[in-house]
Amino acid sequence: MSHAFNYCPNCATALQMLSRMEDGGEKSRLRCVACDWTHWNNPTPVLAAIIEMPEHGGQVLLARNAAWPGRMFALITGFMEAGETPEEGIAREVKEETNLTVDSLKLVGVYDFQRMNQIIVAYHAVARGEVVLSPELAEYRLYRPEDIKCWRAGTGYAVADWLTARGITPQWVDLPARPTAS
């Protein structure tokens, strides 16, 4: 998924890890000696949706990504596209990945996800329609909110906060050990 930068995307000179004074002090980063381009490596915003389905008694849709090992069900997530608001982005992702139409969105919170150099912007999405999964999702399940088990990583904390705000004490589950090779 993530690729290392070897060459300057501006002038194709090989990048070097160089130390330089910045506003926050001396910092080593990949830099281009020819055109002064800097690889800032800023975290990427990722949109996430806790999808509530009033047509199914207010159950929450979680989906399993086809690329994941194990039987882990999680929120619908995706990257923003240029030229869209976060709200437009998550409504688009929900449509693309589940075929559901989002009727309302409310921000749950912003969550740290440093392992992937991402920051998660999580929404509560009320949605309707017939679920048709995109090929990247293998299956989905509908959960009563009180039955959802929260995982101790970015989007899991978002679910926990959402449940807590609804007066439900979150239940926690430990994630299976992650393969270190990937």
**CA-CA distance, 173 to 157, in Å (whole number)?**
12
Q: Which is nearer to Zn ion, 10 or 104 (CB)?
A: 10
Neighbours of 40 (CB within 10 A): 8
Footprint of Zn ion on 36-65 (CB under 5 A): 37
Note whether 165 binds Zn ion by CB under 5 A: no
Q: How far is the CB of 30 from Zn ion (least distance, A)?
A: 11
Q: Which is nearer to Zn ion, 38 or 65 (CB)?
A: 38
Note whether 137 binds Zn ion by CB under 5 A: no
Note whether 32 binds Zn ion by CB under 5 A: yes
Q: Which is nearer to Zn ion, 37 or 113 (CB)?
A: 37
Residues that bind Zn ion (CB under 5 A): 8, 10-11, 13, 32, 34-35, 37
